[in-house]
Chains A and B, each alone.
Chain A
């Protein structure tokens, strides 16, 4: 991984649109398939929404750090906060057959990312690592997962 794109945003929902715009642009720069970028954009948005809701409990004065790195066979996005520790059991979405409001965000993250892990080494706050693998070197523009 040579280049890492880092952005820091306040933990206010109004800035989620900035994250989506940056994610789109990263996808364009690395010529990632548009459908994959759309799914990644939703997943990253959901992950940051979770940070605001759960790690910061709605405190809009905190920071969220996102780091994007790319190589032809993978896209890695790391999302860090300094809020409350996320419980592993909360990293599971609701049963999709149980139709009720909420509980979909985790599913949207897992449907596109192959790796969805909290870094246990981080002492204060959370470090979520998301990795999307591409099945061969020059095919970032071919989706490896479909809905």
Chain B
């Protein structure tokens, strides 16, 4: 022993497998696989940011109502007529720099019913949000590989088979009308391209989307056109699904046959991404940028083998080079995902667009299976506009029928429970019953939900044409999702009551009630104590985390207690907040739950709540590792509607050449500890503050808002302020200068 001590060079840990500095060399301050837009596309990007494509929006407004009324068209026929007239009204735009075409020239989507007609038709029923089918994802693999022509053949065959079923016949006629409308639009593009001697464009559009795509270029063009026509029909939050899965066969074949090289493919892909930004300001959402053009990468195939391919890598690389807010990239990972891929993703995180968003297959797939999804379908999951897990082509799910207000459920329980002299367990029972009644209310409201016919979207979903049935009548999966909003504040409030009122008995129930009722105006000392000394979620503190887990268990029990929604599906609980973190705190006309005033976690009335899964605003948090550990305790087998853990990382982190590697490791750790979904946003709080004062200097500043990214200066001030108040990790407090 003495010998050992006098020979300190013998280090028992030296032989442990550790990463040495050499492993992370050479310095990676520059991305390893940089992709740059070629000059033609750099020019296109500039034109996009300057709004140059808006100049084409000169087509006269489509007037539909009169003809629909004159012909006494049914709802499905009106929906089909809308697609047809919108396609017809579209003028052909082919700019010299474009190789993938389509620019919207009709600005407004007209109504197919007058307000009074609509009221009569929907009496006693409610539309979801704006009305038209939204927030689902087409089976793009099927669309591209069959082509609209083959879809039409299937529709005709079914029509023959079901010719005695007038409803089926009408649906199929409508579907065919929309197929022909999209195909004719493509044909007009081809004719014009031929006329102006753009034979490259003409050749492709004479073929697709009518015929199966045969090349990567054709597949991208077909997707652009079919996807854009969805929006023309009033649909929104139209997902792009598992892009690297359905696109890779085309690219692979082109590469193998030498029809395209990698750099040519990258530029085409970049152009496709740019094209998704041409009309996106016309796409409806809660705010500018919330348009749901989400795209999924990675993960396993339906048979369980790895689906990661060269296009997975290329898409991340190209998205970084394009640097626009659309499409919004998602990446499926596990704890075994290669660091190479994670580093590429981290490089995309670095530029501050707020994506990729990461989903953990190890948690999501079993969670979906536990909710009745077939394993093969579960493996095929993508995300809706924000984070909700959906099955492309197979789901007519309404993933956001509403949100439970966890702060309201907890706050009411604390008020009534303390007043009644309850034990803490009794207060929890009250929380459970409050959540139950909130869920019941949402279920009751969703029973009135009316999904309007969508013949064009039905063409793209599995089985609609085959069965002669519009997707609004249901698909394989018809579940409804409910957000569990602002869970961290609610858990912190419960933990504070348990700790201070019931365990330490340092705060009397009456004192707490008085303080809450008066917004802490007379008792700032108590507020500080609750806020600074109370157990908080995000610190790996068992006291607070137990409350978080309990809240989600109670929420899932409430959802599980409702046997089925009107469409035969279940209610899926989730952990997202969407815009509710501001609405619940400050009120909004769309809210059914009351605004919550001062809360027992020491939050004053009007203060923002936590967004999705993140520590309560302003509380002291140990750091991202403890945050990951806290949220890993939720039972995600019961909570499968999605809703990301959100980490804001300071952009100063990336001054370090190893940062990309370290962020990649953080993503791996997220998967390894068993969290479900993760957003990492790169923030520079100083520049956000400056952007509030000088918006003109920060036109291109992009931030992740909730499930989507937008331009900071285009956000409502309340959301701007909430973003500035988020926890930012990795601030450079110390640069090795002791």
A-B complex is real: no
A residues contacting B by CB (< 8 A) are none
